[in-house]
Structure 1
Amino acid sequence: MLAVTPRFVLDEDAPVAPSAIPADGAGDAALLDAYSTAVTRVVEDVGPAVVKLTVAGRDNRRAGTGSGVIISPDGLVLTNSHVAGGARAIRVATQDGRDLSARLMGDDPDTDLALVRVDDPALLPAAKLGSSKALKRGQLVVAIGNPLGFESTVTAGVISALGRSLRAQTGRLIDDVIQTDAALNPGNSGGPLVASSGEVIGINTAVIMGAQGICFAVAANTAEVVLGELIRHGHVRRAFLGIGAQQIALPRRLVAALGLTAASGAMIASVDPEGPAAKAGLREGDVLVHLDGMPVTGADDVIRLMVSARIGRPLEATYLRGGRIDYASVTPTERKR
């Protein structure tokens, strides 16, 4: 195929509106001013609520540092579990120079979130935790934190993608993760990702080492659920079935014959003899394909469904045994920490 290079010709006879010709780059300056104004407004509104955390671990390890964001004037600070989890002592440094004593109220390694309480009496500037539900790709976001020990550093970018899944250090998938190209570095962890409205829409959590501009934040809606659990219980309550499972592909003929919606399921590899699944009659080798009316395509789907709302509530489990569909009613208990 012949490649054709397009030619563009200026029609000299066509009238040009004077407003379409920026005078001395005034158009570019106005555009830059609008962008700068949005970023600086966010920094002025939210920056005072961003703090540096210095954490001493229970095992006498060397103190580590990270970022956090104050979410209530009485001293509640939201950060990452990998920053504050297991803390023996915490110091909170504010942007106005105060050095405050704090303690860990609770953490959730499964979502890499933690809640810290400032013990010293102080009235602190707080940021508003917004909703991450209506976010759009390409939306302007600002990250504030203390990367590599440089306090109160600001970077800006856009939302690159939504609905990502990120595997936590526990092995559990964190759902609804925000991907951004706002530059993050070690020390940014736990700091806020902020929309142009000034609302915190994510908590910065991870970068892809060796990649350029691929960074992640736990969505504000996830943080709001975890925050409520940590305040009420000191940990996040999750349901427990008492099984170990792995993803397994199902034969196409079996999928078609049984009218299944997915070509894979979660095969039960181990069963706690005292757990809810064993009491419901499930055993090793069974393949879960639906749980509580939701399709199950692998072990991650089972874990994702084990939220606190399902504790103590009977669930219908649809599973395959010997090439046939069967059903069981299983009532999850609360998972032990």
Structure 2
Amino acid sequence: MLDFSQDLTADETISSQKTAAPVDDQALLDAYSNAVIGVTERVGPAVVRVETIATRSSSRERGGRGSGIVISPDGLVLTNSHVVGSSKQIRIRDSEGGVTDARVLGVDPDTDLALLRADVSRNLQFAALGNSKNLRRGQLVVAIGNPLGFESTVTAGVVSALGRSIRSVNGRTIEDVIQTDAALNPGNSGGPLVSSSAEVIGINTAIINGAQGICFAVASNTAQFVLSEIIRHGHVRRAYIGVSAQTAPIPRRHAVVAGIDNTMGALLAQLEPDGPAAGAGLLPGDVVTRLDGVDIHGVDDLIRALDRDRIDRTLQMEVLRMGRARAIDIHPIERKALARQTG
């Protein structure tokens, strides 16, 4: 006699798995929905609309709108510097419809961030900044903002990539940017990108026109650094040497003679007459290959190297001049707020 008991047991198991699959899918969808709902309910009340008011002094100046996130109960608001622009008159509208004036504590075009202080007598709903270093690709994120005038809009997606670099409005490179596919539109700028634990892990800053699902947010760790600098100094402190530069190739024969591996460097185009670079003896046409022990492979590397830790220190800069290596001592000073120079 043939025994089908084992086969029947296997068939029953397969049938049971097929029956259970839709239940599991429903549970996953419910968990996803509950995560987004939970984030929205916790962080949504801390998201505000930021409105800049046009002044009568300039007929060309127009008011604008964006988003912001309240990060403290006394009214500190993070948003984008391109949302604030040069406006001196700013209003914020909270999720309950309350409107109040706000003043600019500081802007940092280099990271496209701005810090505002709302003029309120009551405590505001606020959200906490998280640690963006803990993010992983594929992680669930939620974006909240006011795109195209539609208030309190919620979109969800994942972290598409980490450590991206994009250009800020003044041409400098913003480092450690988060790429996400959470849908963003004009008006989302300055709003929060939030993790499933309801921590703000980014400030939404840019979209790529014509692309689908490619959006960017400034990492919360960058935002934490910027707001601490603004609170302490009114701006972000960076080193300044008084040059305009561009990335340029280094001929192989010059690299061999100089004993360096660089294929690219930062070509100095112009020098401020009274700047540290001119005072140190640098000349237009010099190609920077190294600064304070850091290899320089282009203008972005030079900008990154000129951070606050190199202010008021004598540093060694290695350059190529007419194809020959030179080492020059230079003493960077603090760059003035909103300066437009390369470094």
Could you say what secondary structure the match of 2:228 adopts?
helix
Q: Is the 8 A contact 1:57 1:88 kept in 2?
A: no
Q: Is the 8 A contact 1:246 1:268 kept in 2?
A: yes
Shift in alpha-carbon separation, 1:36–1:96, aligned structure 2, 3 A: same
Task: State the match for 1:29 in structure 2.
Answer: 26
Listed as ranges, the gaps of 5+ residues in structure 2 are 1-6, 338-343
Identity percentage of aligned residues: 59
Residue identity matched to 1:34: A
Residue identity matched to 1:53: V
Could you say what secondary structure the match of 1:65 adopts?
strand
Distance in 2, matches of 1:57 and 1:114, equals 18
Once superposed, which parts of structure 1, at least 4 consecutive aligned residues long, lie more than 4 Å away?
11-15
Q: Is the 8 A contact 2:207 2:214 kept in 1?
A: yes
- Structure 1 position 264 matched with structure 2 position 264: yes
* 1:1-337 equivalent positions in 2, closer than 5 A: 14-15=10-11, 16=13, 20-23=17-20, 25-58=22-55, 61-337=61-337
Which deviates the most, 265-274 or 71-80? 265-274
The alignment's C-alpha RMSD in Å is 1.9
Shift in alpha-carbon separation, 1:332–1:31, aligned structure 2, 3 A: same
Shift in alpha-carbon separation, 1:214–1:24, aligned structure 2, 3 A: closer
Could you say what secondary structure the match of 1:236 adopts?
coil
Q: Which has the higher helix share?
A: 2
Shift of 1:112: 0.8
Which deviates the most, 185-194 or 158-167? 158-167
Could you say what secondary structure the match of 2:175 adopts?
strand
Residue identity matched to 2:278: A
Shift of 1:240: 0.8
Shift of 1:62: 3.2
Shift in alpha-carbon separation, 1:30–1:174, aligned structure 2, 3 A: same
Distance in 2, matches of 1:26 and 1:13, equals 22
Distance in 2, matches of 1:19 and 1:302, equals 63
Residue identity matched to 1:41: G
Residue identity matched to 1:326: R
For normalisation by structure 2, the TM-score amounts to 0.90
Could you say what secondary structure the match of 1:202 adopts?
strand
Could you say what secondary structure the match of 1:69 adopts?
strand
Shift of 1:156: 0.3
Could you say what secondary structure the match of 1:260 adopts?
coil
Residue identity matched to 2:137: R
Task: State the match for 1:3 in structure 2.
Answer: none
Which deviates the most, 116-125 or 304-313? 304-313
For normalisation by structure 1, the TM-score amounts to 0.92
Deviations 1:10-66 (A, max 9, x none): x99955356633448211110101111111111111111101111114555332111
Distance in 2, matches of 1:91 and 1:274, equals 41
Shift of 1:262: 2.4
Deviations 1:61-116 (A, max 9, x none): 33211100000000000000111132222221111222122111111111111111
Could you say what secondary structure the match of 1:133 adopts?
helix
Which deviates the most, 85-94 or 212-221? 85-94
Residue identity matched to 1:180: T
